[in-house]
Structure 1
Amino acid sequence: MKKYSDWFKVDLHIHTDYSKQTKTNDYQGHFDINILKQKLIENDVKLFSLTDHNIINVDAYKNYYENYTDGDPKLLIGCEFDIEVPKSHKTITYHSVIVFENDNFEDVEIISNKIERLYATKGVSKTERKITIDDLYDLFNEHNYFFIPHAGNTKSILDPYIGYDIQLCQQMVLLMPSAFEKVKESVRQTYNEGFDRIKTLDFKDKDDIPYINFSDNHNCNSYPCTNKNGDNHEFYCIKGQPTFESIRFAFIDPKSRIKKFSEVEVLMRFDNFLHSVKFEDNPVIENTTLYFSPNLNTIIGGRSSGKSLLFNILGKKINNNKSQIDKYGLDITNAKVKSFLDDDYKPIINYNTNDIIYINQGDIVNYFENNSLKDLILESGETENYKAALETFKTKKSDLTQLVEKLIELYSELYDVLNSNFTFHDRDITSILDSSYIFKSISDIEDNTDSFQTSAEILNLLTDNTEKFKANENWSFLPEELEVIETFIELVNAKNLLFDEVTKNYSKKIDFITDVKKIITDKNANLDLKGREKEASNTRYTTLNKNISDAFKIAKQVENHCLLVEQLSYGEIQEIKINDEVTVVLEVEKNESIKTKIIEGLSSISSTNLSLYQVLIKLALGEIKIKNLPTNSSDNLAKKTMTQVKGILDLFDKPIEYLKYSEESTSKNNSPGFNSEKYLQTILKSGNSKIIFIDQPEDNLGNRFITDKLIDLLRDLKFKKQIFLITHNPSIVVYGDAENIIMCNNNENTIEYEQYVLEEKEHQKEICTVLDGGQYIFEQRARKYNIKKLIQ
């Protein structure tokens, strides 16, 4: 059993041959519990119930429980009742499956005896057995059970209530732990609208009425098909563990926890998400292996419990340069990680840079504060002398600044591509060579955007300036000259029409390729598991080729730019008085080269004859280091380089030691909370990332934003990206429906990590002790409809 909540097939409506005792010719063939068990295993059903009509097959339950072993499908006690509504004065009944929390033979006998005594008291034959809701309440008031009526077909719960009191029907269903079975897709909207009429405003218009279909099988030999038409049954899945409590959570939150198996297949992940981490022989952390959900993983615990430690260990193990593990002084050599595509554990996993978003606590607010320093713009003074001085140095200073900034920008790309993932897995090769077919994507056409823009500008200039040339008051034209001008204008117009046709055809090609790619993507999404895994492997193969190609392309660009930096010459002197308060001496003297200043900021280099290009290659590969900074990231190189060349840049504009900037900014004019919300929304929705790490996303966020926007965003995003969150907010854990909850404890300086799931009652208690307000959030989640009658 997985340690996190995952999807499993469920079938809570299966008949045995006992149904023939209460319904004539109801069961087809011979029933054998061992045959059914084998069929359930073959179909990977993890939780089921035997639900005969108005009777319980005690022998079948006894046989199953006596021979049950760990790993077998779990059997809950159940029965399908014919329920009548006497007050409606209708003779028709509706069918409802009742599934009990109980899963042992002693309770089978107790429940069966209650049913038999009830019908004996009523004095009816087995084929005429009926029951009322009041009977159910009285009979099973000591038991926990689910009420799952038929709806939208024969024996529907609506039939006895139509024309009598349909609102009573809806209220009754809402007041019980219930779901609808056998509802057609076309009538779900009608059902939802009906229930919305009796829900309070806070709960209206929510897609949270649970619908779930079971096989209603009447012939175990042809399972899962029914005996009526033989159509293939479409299994439904519930998210969680194969338990009664998981069903309860699914009925409370069907949008997140009930799906058809075909929908679950679409959600299956083949990207290289983080699978697990193994701790062995660590002086601080207890030996354990943590398995991660491909969806939402939340890390919770008290103060100094090891939450941030785990967060930073994972950051280090995925080779993310923002990990702050060094501040703990802890040896994590024996901590090993494994990705979805790995066969064994390894010391580190290299992901592509754009695959990971990693945000430490406080980063979101600090981002705006630090970014404002990068966004500052030098202002000019009002005096003519200052303007003259700036004009003198403007070109050279601009050239030098842009040259250095461009060098950092190119190094950023070089660093990212050289530290990308260049590995290819045996599993990918096996998948690519597999006989399963996929639809292969087509290549994009060359991007002509820049070329078209240049051509359009040329044509516009020719059209405008030719007319101005013709009408200029400073010269006149002879007739033959005017004829030449007119001919030229006709030529330009002809080329304009031709260019317009070319751009239209280009747009059509782009649209065609886009449409074809969408079709291919849709088709691949519906292939079998082998086919889609092959597609995922092909995608990774394409990414590998692109990484290699990008490495050579950016390396050539870096080499060419390094030559420009090394060959740059500068030098100028100007003394400028800005105003009475500021006087600047602008003196630029070429006494040091840019190359020398950059290299001085790096650790010792073996050869002084290395070119700047060779130095940057070694830096990106980690063969040399940036002095006094932890990593060779582009941000760190930018800090060091700008520090090194600051003396040279200051010579261009020395009065800029203190200036006030009037900038129409975006982030600085808003509160930290507002900026954090916008930043978080943007970073989460980034289409490139595959895995997201955030330490306490609720910091500086308003509660309304968390409940109104962040929760819905997480619930949608977690099926597309793997998410890791450290949080103290129970709403994020519970309403976000976290698939995996890692509880952190510090037991006498030994860190213990345990995995919890929301649908486990004991885990719920522990979660509530750690998260302030957790008990209230759990209660509110269960009270999703808030009907006034429930309060009364």
Structure 2
Amino acid sequence: MLEDKPLYEAEQNLMTLYKRLRKRDKSTQYVKADLHVHSPASADYVWTNKGPEATEDDEYRLFVETFLESDVQIMAVTDHNSVKGYLKIQELLGLDSALKWRLGKKLILPGVEITCYQQHFVVIFSENTEAGTLNHFLFECGISIEDQGNEEASADRVSPLLLCEKARENKGIVLIAHCDAEHGLLQSFFGRQEELGFKGKSVERILKSSAVYGICYNDPGKLGRLQELKAQFGVDLPLLQASDSHSSSKEYRASGRPLGQRSTLIKLGPLCFRSLCLALRNEESRILHHAPSTRTNPVLLGIAINGGFLRDMDKVQSWAVIPFSEELNCIVGARGTGKSTLLDILKYVLNPQNKAVGTRVIDRFDKAIVFVRTGETYAIVLEPIGLNRPNAKYYVLKGDAFHRLSSNIRLQSSLKRLTNNLRLSEYLTSENIQSYDQKELFFLATMPEGPTLVTENLCALMFREDFARAKRELQDHAIRLISQATVLLKDRKRDPKADLTSPYLESQYKAFVEANRRITQFQREIIDHLNIILCNRLAMKGSLGIALNHKETYEETIEKWRVMNRMQQNAPYEHLIDLRKVLKNLFRDISEDWAVPFYLFTKNAESLAETTGLTSDIANELCGRLCTVVEPTDLLIVPRLIVDFELNVKHGISNEVTYRKRNELSLGQRAVGMLLLILHGATELGETRPLLIDQPEDDLDNVYIYQTLVKEFQRLKKTRQLLIATHNPNIPIAGDAENILVLESDGDSGWVQNWGSIDREEIIKKVLQILEGDREAFMRRAWKYDLA
């Protein structure tokens, strides 16, 4: 339901801020690239203009126009043994500023399809490469200017390996051209023997050249075989499709396909050669062989903050506007620049009832707006007056304006997967698996019930309403059980001979136990599922035990009963020692029908003896001594499934499998195990909400960060949004973050100075400075490692 009312200052600026946010987005995006295209400079190019008045300039102009009208955003001009076509295009653009302006955000790269030992290789250079460098490269390979454009010409001065070396020396990259077709390097591996085809070790050495950045193929049906060949040769090169187009016409019948009909989706930041090179070295996260699927998971589009510690980099702007990628966002900066503050403001706006986070952050900002996409686009505006008056307002984007929601019911329904009415500060202890900092993680990793709490929340994720119903029934019966026991206890105090039980008490206890057993069954199913998901990484275990909250162990309950018994009956010290021993044995020997507190409270010695193996005399004595000290809340002590894990400490280090129990692990290893359970397990079970993490790397060594955390983040970001504050370079760099937010501070305030992917030069400089100690420090280490 929408309402039209006068808007406050923040609300009037919603659309302006939203447009600023979207305009500022510099995260990597998928673009269509065709990296093997012939121009009229190739002898076998099929001209589109065939009339008597057609000129070469007209054909080149039409070639560029075809590129402009296509959905291809990057094109490499790769003529046969020639760079004349690319140079002619540059000459044309230099004379026609209007045409050059129309190219806008498209990119044309210089390249060449070069013949070497009857095999075809595509070499691509930077857009800034000068004509002299391009011609010199061809001359070094044995192709003169006169021979350029002739497919029969050959780079006979060099072998394929030396060709790759020459390309690298001239700052170019090599792609294996149409590997599965005529003159393709891998053609002989598809059943058609080439007279001078390369085999075995020769092919492997070429593919492993540092200059080779990809393998182009024609037939999608051969993709599986190509993956096998990659594994056979031990190379990790991206598989690419390119048109090998030889005409501007969409109807031509010749070699290759029309422009863009065979192409590759590549995720880039800025459209440039350097960005392309980075992408080709990150096939898993940057290359797609099909159109990207539409993401339905909730996404935080960005945040706008007014007042307080965080400001805009442009001091003239009153609002700091910070965009997020829908995949991996890394927040970096020196200590004190506001990384944790940014995450806390996000948490607080998403859940204003979270007083724990509110207490930390309420004085750090005046107003904040979080823009969220989950089906529709929403704006959550928070202008807190105090902890008890967060003053939250909700808006939905309709057309070109945001409209106030008179009730947030619609928003809460739409955002159920995002907020789920959770208290973020308590993380898993309050059924939340979307946000934590490292202290909370270590607390969960070390507390005895940590894995049990995580497992219960995974049950809520997997079994949803069934598990929620069992939890509600457990709570309802617990309330009724305690209430009835309290009534009986009052009657007992008035009349020591009063009945110690009632049919209603027994029925509620049985219902409480049954609900607890259903929850235990859910947990067992989750454990079995997790052991499949986390095979060879984490082994989940479950055993029945007495699990109280972390503030009270069963030993403390036994001691409480013992002290109360001594006070009430003035029992001898020796009897109290014996009592402790008997009770400890009862609390350790647990079965599904264990009900010791209930039998003691109701003075049911017969059932106590029958279910525990005690003699009748001892059971009667225990009931007589303890029936008056067992409190109503003690009836809730029932067998529960205690969950724990063992970690394969060799995972990511070697192929060995060595499991160690949690209590034998270091603090960092326990945290690794908990992260595997939370990140991998939760996502495999269907968790898609944004995940906010503050410095997950603390107290973890780099091998675990790279082998575990980074690889998990690379996998997770495909299905859910990640926002991570970090000081470790492995996470944004090896994790190939789509958006790196660089925070700076002058002591009085902090701001986002730069943002975008590692493709951008300014991001590289800042990451080197902040996370590596600066370029000199990094190079000194690389030199000492003999890697420079």
For the criterion TM > 0.5, the same-fold answer is yes
Displacement, 1:101? 0.7
One of 303, 306, 327 as aligned partner of 2:338: 306
CA distance in 2, matches of 1:742, 1:270: 24
> What's 1:701 paired with?
700
Q: Which amino acid aligns with 1:251?
A: L
Deviation string, structure 1 residues 419-449 (Cα, Å, up to 9, x no partner) = x9xxxxxxxxxxxxxxxxxxxxxxx9xx9xx
TM-score (norm 2): 0.57
One of 76, 96, 118 as aligned partner of 1:49: 76
Q: SS of the counterpart of 2:107? A: strand
Displacement, 1:683? 0.7
Is contact 2:349–2:380 with CA below 8 Å preserved after alignment?
no
Q: Which amino acid aligns with 1:148?
A: L
CA distance in 1, matches of 2:444, 2:550: 19
TM-score (norm 1): 0.57
Task: Summarize the alignment of residues 154-169 of structure 1 with structure 2, pairs less than 5 Å apart.
Answer: 154-158=182-186, 166-169=200-203
Task: Summarize the alignment of residues 338-417 of structure 1 with structure 2, pairs less than 5 Å apart.
Answer: 338-341=371-374, 342-343=376-377, 345-347=379-381, 351-352=419-420, 353=422, 357-370=434-447, 372=449
Q: CA RMSD in A?
A: 5.3
Displacement, 1:569? 0.7
From the superposition, tell whether residues 655 and 190 of structure 1 become closer, same or farther in structure 2 (CA, over 3 Å): farther
CA distance in 1, matches of 2:47, 2:477: 81
**Alignment pair present for 1:336 and 2:365:** no
> What's 2:264 paired with?
236
CA distance in 2, matches of 1:77, 1:365: 50
Give % identity: 19
Is contact 1:333–1:347 with CA below 8 Å preserved after alignment?
no
Q: Which amino acid aligns with 2:288?
A: K
When structure 1 is superposed on structure 2, of 715-724 and 360-369 the one drifting more is 360-369
The structure where strand makes up a greater share of residues is 2
From the superposition, tell whether residues 338 and 225 of structure 1 become closer, same or farther in structure 2 (CA, over 3 Å): farther
Deviation string, structure 1 residues 318-362 (Cα, Å, up to 9, x no partner) = 217386352245343422110124546431685224785111231
Q: SS of the counterpart of 1:181? A: strand
> What's 2:101 paired with?
69
Deviation string, structure 1 residues 69-88 (Cα, Å, up to 9, x no partner) = 38724333323333223xxx
When structure 1 is superposed on structure 2, of 359-368 and 66-75 the one drifting more is 66-75
> What's 1:270 paired with?
296
Deviation string, structure 1 residues 196-215 (Cα, Å, up to 9, x no partner) = 677xxxxx5x7x22221112
Is contact 1:77–1:100 with CA below 8 Å preserved after alignment?
yes
From the superposition, tell whether residues 559 and 142 of structure 1 become closer, same or farther in structure 2 (CA, over 3 Å): closer
> What's 1:607 paired with?
none
Q: Which amino acid aligns with 2:363?
A: L
From the superposition, tell whether residues 374 and 728 of structure 1 become closer, same or farther in structure 2 (CA, over 3 Å): closer
> What's 1:500 paired with?
none
Q: Which amino acid aligns with 2:320?
A: T
CA distance in 1, matches of 2:358, 2:253: 55
Deviation string, structure 1 residues 110-154 (Cα, Å, up to 9, x no partner) = 635875897547778946432247496798676421211211211
> What's 2:678 paired with?
683
Is contact 2:39–2:77 with CA below 8 Å preserved after alignment?
yes
Q: SS of the counterpart of 1:330? A: helix
Task: Summarize the alignment of residues 240-251 of structure 1 with structure 2, pairs less than 5 Å apart.
Answer: 240-241=268-269, 242-251=271-280
Listed as ranges, the gaps of 5+ residues in structure 2 are: 1-22, 51-57, 188-193, 313-318, 383-393, 395-411, 413-418, 423-430, 501-547, 568-576, 589-641, 645-661
Q: Which amino acid aligns with 1:248?
A: C
CA distance in 1, matches of 2:252, 2:448: 60
From the superposition, tell whether residues 344 and 126 of structure 1 become closer, same or farther in structure 2 (CA, over 3 Å): same
Q: SS of the counterpart of 2:79? A: coil
CA distance in 2, matches of 1:745, 1:572: 64
Q: Which amino acid aligns with 1:59?
A: K
Q: Which amino acid aligns with 1:271?
A: N
When structure 1 is superposed on structure 2, of 322-331 and 291-300 the one drifting more is 322-331
Q: Which amino acid aligns with 2:369?
A: K
From the superposition, tell whether residues 312 and 141 of structure 1 become closer, same or farther in structure 2 (CA, over 3 Å): closer
From the superposition, tell whether residues 373 and 284 of structure 1 become closer, same or farther in structure 2 (CA, over 3 Å): closer
From the superposition, tell whether residues 111 and 7 of structure 1 become closer, same or farther in structure 2 (CA, over 3 Å): same
Is contact 1:234–1:261 with CA below 8 Å preserved after alignment?
no
Displacement, 1:185? 5.3
Is contact 1:316–1:325 with CA below 8 Å preserved after alignment?
yes
Deviation string, structure 1 residues 634-677 (Cα, Å, up to 9, x no partner) = xxxx99999xxx99x96897479999989798455644233212
From the superposition, tell whether residues 776 and 345 of structure 1 become closer, same or farther in structure 2 (CA, over 3 Å): farther
Task: Summarize the alignment of residues 509-548 of structure 1 with structure 2, pairs less than 5 Å apart.
Answer: none
Count of aligned residue pairs for this structure pair: 540
Displacement, 1:221? 3.5
CA distance in 2, matches of 1:714, 1:64: 43
CA distance in 2, matches of 1:224, 1:325: 66
Displacement, 1:51? 2.1
> What's 1:569 paired with?
487
Deviation string, structure 1 residues 293-330 (Cα, Å, up to 9, x no partner) = 22111122221121111121111122173863522453
CA distance in 2, matches of 1:126, 1:656: 105
From the superposition, tell whether residues 238 and 113 of structure 1 become closer, same or farther in structure 2 (CA, over 3 Å): same
One of 336, 349, 356 as aligned partner of 1:317: 349
Deviation string, structure 1 residues 392-412 (Cα, Å, up to 9, x no partner) = xxxxxxxxxxxxxxxxx9xx9
CA distance in 2, matches of 1:223, 1:355: 57
One of 84, 97, 120 as aligned partner of 2:116: 84
Is contact 2:37–2:246 with CA below 8 Å preserved after alignment?
yes
One of 121, 124, 130 as aligned partner of 1:99: 124
Displacement, 1:94? 2.2
